[in-house]
Structure 1
């Protein structure tokens, strides 16, 4: 097993989360999803990231039934979709997520985007922790103002903020806000959803280290102590994505990556059409 898969961060509630996991965004083809999940578990992955809107909870549950693992060793993350953020809807969504994943508890539950009902949703999530349905709760795509608002209103501090973060969108204000409040940073889109293969600075480092552009991006995030959840539909890349421990980006390499023109590849959380 790759040793990186045993590395963890400690969240602000004292529980641990793996540093590297498997993302499942757009993994809706049942056969592909099953193959990827089973390959990942066999390789030693412990963190699996999904969401209600991904529409693959039931397939993930089916794949896990065909794997050998101890439940306490797995770390399952899901997210409540925007249309379910009103308090009663959020309560129902949590129960539905548990049912679809066929789990007694979820390790980490996130609000998917900061909608106008985000505080209602978070209250329902806090109650799910009290009820033992969820171990840890956090946020996704929250900007500085959203984080500060939540911290002024919540009873349980979020453990993680998962947001778009890669060499072409360093999002330093959000990163610093998280760090200053003991909230772990989790990167989605770490490989810029495939655009990393077209950026000269990343291509230069890939050639220098005889690595793929994707591996350069993942190494960048790993060195900055961000949780990464690379997704793929190809079992072979499940293994490639964790093959990043045999090289290290230097300060000069990091400076080169800092020269990349910044752009947001996904939706803007402040102007997202919910």
Structure 2
């Protein structure tokens, strides 16, 4: 099975393609149309965006140019922090649908665990009941945020998308998600582009005749994480899906675990909301 064909089942019975295309910082100027076209042609069917990316209108335009059937696509978006109050979240959901030119969103996430995250969750639950959203989840939630949500949620989160890569393996958070039947999704899988500077990753890339990016993606894929690599360059969009023809050994995985750990993105407990 090609990695782009692999799907993971949510706790609500829906499925997500394990490999998708990230679109953070992709705009019309940075080549989002070409990236989407290359991705669809290669076989990507999962596309990840967010309100704060400012590219949902361009994403809709790019998808239309591919002439692909909507039912074949899996679209993720996220509600930004400034819209987490209940009434604002309700409006944000309709705005996201309008910008993406969709009748429904496959997956909608609370982008960060702001103080009003539970209000936002209530709006997401109502959107599911109204048929506007198929599945709902969380992003950048730590163990304590998950526990708080699980106590009050009528609909349980299906996924948690957070910074997760060979330099930040988040063993405890991964285990906590799995204990609660929440799928783990990695952002920053390529160590936010710094994988090309990590000795262990570079060595394994030479061993397998692969790119450092492909080593990181294979690492996450073998651990069962959903991954959403991005690139504004069509050739790299294609390269980022070509990691299905090799497998990292246990020794290789152990070697990757020797990478010095650090967080490259914002800390969810110390983030300016």
TM-score by length of 2: 0.99
- Kindly indicate whether the alpha-carbon contact (under 8 Å) linking 1:4 and 1:20 is maintained by their aligned counterparts in 2: yes
Q: How does 1:57-206 map to 2 (within 5 A)?
A: 57-206=56-205
SS in 2 for 1:221: helix
Q: Kindly tell me: are residues 31 and 255 of structure 1, through their superposed partners in 2, closer, same or farther at Cα, counting changes over 3 Å?
A: closer
Displacement of 1:31 after TM fit? Answer: 6.0
Tell me what 2:211 maps to.
Answer: 212
CA displacement 1:162-184 (0-9 Å, x = unmatched): 00000000011110111001100
1: CA distance between counterparts of 2:177 and 2:193? 26
Alignment partners' CA distance in 2, 1:97 and 1:129: 14
Structure 1 ranges of 4+ moved more than 6 A: none
Q: Name the CA distance, whole Å, in 2 between partners of 1:201 and 1:44.
A: 30
The worse-fitting range, judged by mean Cα deviation, of 75-84 and 41-50 is 41-50
1:9-58 superposed Cα distances (whole Å, 9 cap, x missing partner): 01000011001000000002346001101111111111000000000000
1:70 Cα deviation from its structure 2 partner:
1.7
How many residues in Structure 1 have an aligned counterpart in Structure 2? 273
SS in 2 for 1:78: strand
Quote how far apart the aligned CAs of 1:247 are.
1.1
* Matches of 1:42 and 1:223, distance apart in 2: 24
- Determine if contact 1:30/1:59 at 8 Å carries over to the other structure: no
Q: Work out the CA distance in 2 between the residues paired with 1:6 and 1:201.
A: 29
Q: C-alpha distance in 1, partners of 2:203/2:57?
A: 41
Q: Do the aligned residues in 2 keep the contact of 1:190 with 1:218 (CA within 8 Å)?
A: yes
Residue 261 of structure 1 aligns with which residue?
260
